[in-house]
Homo-oligomer: A and B are copies of this chain.
């Protein structure tokens, strides 16, 4: 199988990400494991030499077997460590199922609603990307194939934790970075609820980074940014923003002895130490 995103050179198959004009990253590929054109995007699972199996949407690498756990652990365990008693969690996006897999490591959580627009992504990852999805099978997870913005509109006082696991704010995910969407999220949270979202690269997406923080700050009393290293994202350094109605500190004991690869008690606290240039940007 061949497609517009892959090229063959000297007998080898390569995927070159084409989103950036000035920096190209090329992955040597062993095999195309899955390919489908869904109503929303071109979905592939590729087996690469350097990162193992990867989820690729419209030619852009989203998550890999080598490091997918970093992003998914950071977007899940950190907010949960802030909430003393989370029962009901909503994940918007997160089609690789990695965030849902991490959330399910907490027995006190009773229900996880995962709202992903593209069923093909979930199906591909469940079947062909077990390192990320864990081929998740947990009765507490409800898979809802719908538009996150539409889904959340009429929800009120319903969730303890909302995780916004979106792609970049270009194209379909753009609305997930707008203030009106965050207002819906605020309303959908219980009175002591909290939310987290990915807030871009502090190095290459200065505007997304700062805007997300400021928009949330105008709505929630407690807003804090934290960072992690995600090797497959440009620049490596990635940011998340946690916005909370009540709880302002993490309880590192909550992540103790969890089966994790990146997160531990020290990481859930130290991740809030921001590089000087990020700290300065947010406080200007």
Contacts and interface: CB of A to CB of B under 8 A. Distances in A.
A235 B271 CA distance: 18
B236 A262 contact: no
Number of copies: 2
Contacts of A49: 21-23
Interface string A248-284: 0000000000001111101101111111110100000
Contacts of A21: 28, 49
Contact of A236 (B23, B50, B231, B279): B231
A235 B275 CA distance: 18
A73 to B, nearest CB: 9
A157 interface: no
Contacts of A26: 23-26
A67 interface: yes
A208 interface: no
Interface in A227-254: 227, 229-231, 234-237
Given A203-B231, A264-B276, A25 B24 contact: yes
Contacts of A203: 66-67, 231
A262 B235 contact: no
A50 to B, nearest CB: 4
A5 interface: no
A212 interface: no
* Residue of A22, A50, A51, A264 with most partner-chain B CB within 10 A: A22
A63 interface: no
Interface in A18-36: 20-28
Interface string A32-49: 000000000000000011
A260 B276 CA distance: 7
A25 B14 CA distance: 12
10 contacts: A14-B24, A22-B49, A23-B26, A23-B27, A231-B234, A261-B276, A261-B277, A266-B274, A267-B275, A269-B273
Interface of A: 14, 20-28, 48-51, 66-67, 70, 203, 227, 229-231, 234-237, 260-264, 266-267, 269-277, 279
User: Closest 4 CB pairs between A and B?
Assistant: A236-B236, A270-B273, A270-B270, A22-B49
